[in-house]
Amino acid sequence: MNRAAIVGGGVIGGGWAARFALNGWDVRIYDPDPEAERKIGEVLANARRSLPGLADAPMPPEGALSFHPSIAEAVSGAAWIQESVPERLDIKHLTLAEIQRACDASAVIGSSTSGFRPSQLQEGALRPGQIMVAHPFNPVYLLPLIELVTPGTDEAAVTRATGILESIGMHPLRLRKEIDAHVADRFLEAVWREALWLVKDGIATTEEIDNAIRYGFGIRWAQMGLFETYRVAGGEAGMKHFMAQFGPALKWPWTRLMDVPEFTEDLVDLIAGQSDAQSGDRSIRELERIRDTNLVAMMRALKGQDWGAGALLRAQDARMKSGTALAGGLEAAGDLSQPILTLARAVPLDWTDYNGHMTESRYLDAFAQATDRFMEMIGCDSDYIAAGGSYFTAETHIRHLDEALAGHRIAVHTRMLLGAGKKLHLFHTMTRGETVLATGEHFLLHVDLETRRPCAPSAPIEAALARITAAQKDLPWPEGAGAAIRAPS
């Protein structure tokens, strides 16, 4: 079992703990705050609700979380040590020194610092080359970006860090030069300063500014960022044209950022008051859950398009499925004489209603994913489809027998009732543990994608279907299969 150490809890350390634990790592925590266990428990509860359903693959079993009275005990045997103590260089130095006295020389030491450069952290360290900035974004268990700032870090440590971050679904953005606040926070700081001016000058309230962002460029940036968005805006004439058009604005007074607003109590009161008016009717816990549900829904929307953060999620699914019964051909599928595992996943937040129950139409989403896996197994994959053949669903019959909630781990096993010539008749059973939640019966026809008419599949697919037919021939007819809908008494 992989082991991570979290030094310093809070929202950020807790987020790291949750991401590691839900990805199957044992996590050892050091945090002198007497409230640490409660606080990290709350972050973990949010993460359990939202992270597993981001995947269309089974997450590994959750790792163990433990709390330790000393840094030395927490970091012992850890492959990754994450420092998330307060942003004061003297505290960081003391903490890093204590970590290095006790940890493995091969461990990665990442710092969550928003502003310090690695060279500042490495100053006077026992093994400076072991230390790097690994700056995450809140909520750490959902957002994939990590700024990995590595001047002065050993190349071998960077390689290990990159592999580990990718294995837990993160995207390390490696920065080989160091500057204050790295990259992303420079934008945040610029926008923050400009926003303080706008509120202070009475141009717009905090709520109006939030709306100006989320009804406009915020949605654009969630998928293409700054430059690609402008490239598109520039049209066929391209990026040079765009820059020529907006270059002169650099000399115009379009920002107040030549200057910084004075951080007075009045300004704090003004902004805190507006923020209360804007969001005050919801607790922070409630806002966190809303935020996480929104992020899951949008990231899964991008996943449907295989784009941006959604493309990262797809890559992570493939990594998690690789080498399991959920990837590869019939050989990987295990015992064919029983219904075949075709889906194992958590119910994602965007599949549920406001009460957290999985909504009706999402059962078909799950069954469609199970059918897709069956297709991959018999060789009807993207290459085969590109070559002009595919199966179309002609009929579907779903029986809802029990309920599932957000975060529940569900599985689908598939019985092939008929697989011959152009015809394919599947019977999916969805379970949670021993409980049957639903059955999905599907009749499919193999079609020629050019003529859109039914025809027999390729010889390798026919052979795969014959193997399953032979293996499953003694299974009893499933209860409920082939039954018409009629009013039960």
36-50 helix and 10-22 helix, angle to the nearest 10 degrees? 50
**Residue number with CB closer to a copy of itself (49 or 362):** 362
**Residue number with CB closer to a copy of itself (64 or 188):** 188
**Minimum distance between the CB of residue 120 and a copy of itself, rounded to whole angstroms?**
13
Phi, psi of 108 (to 5 degrees): -85, 130
**Minimum distance between the CB of residue 331 and a copy of itself, rounded to whole angstroms?**
27
**Minimum distance between the CB of residue 484 and a copy of itself, rounded to whole angstroms?**
4
**Residue number with CB closer to a copy of itself (72 or 184):** 184
**Minimum distance between the CB of residue 477 and a copy of itself, rounded to whole angstroms?**
12
**Minimum distance between the CB of residue 418 and a copy of itself, rounded to whole angstroms?**
6
Question: How far apart, in Å, do the first and last CA atoms of the chain sit?
Answer: 53
3-class secondary structure, 464: helix
Instruction: Please give the full DSSP string across 58-93, using - where no structure is assigned.
Output: PPPPPPPEEE-SSHHHHHTT-SEEEE---S-HHHHH
**Residue number with CB closer to a copy of itself (160 or 220):** 220
| Cα→Cα distances 52→44, 60, 291, 342, 388, Å | 12, 9, 16, 18, 35
Burial 202-223 (b: 16+ CB within 10 A, else e): eeebbeebbeeeeeeeeeeebb
**Minimum distance between the CB of residue 29 and a copy of itself, rounded to whole angstroms?**
18
**Residue number with CB closer to a copy of itself (291 or 409):** 291
Q: 440: which strand partners? A: 398, 428
3-class secondary structure, 430: strand
Whose structure tokens read 């493939």? 318
Burial 333-371 (b: 16+ CB within 10 A, else e): beebeebbbbbbbbbbbbbbeeeeebeeebbbebbbbbb
**Residue number with CB closer to a copy of itself (104 or 402):** 402
**Residue number with CB closer to a copy of itself (217 or 335):** 217
**Minimum distance between the CB of residue 290 and a copy of itself, rounded to whole angstroms?**
6
* R_g over Cα of the chain: 27
**Residue number with CB closer to a copy of itself (78 or 134):** 134
**Minimum distance between the CB of residue 105 and a copy of itself, rounded to whole angstroms?**
30
Q: Residues near 368 by Cβ (< 8 Å), separated by ≥ 6?
A: none
Q: Are 425 and 417 in contact (CB under 8 A)?
A: yes
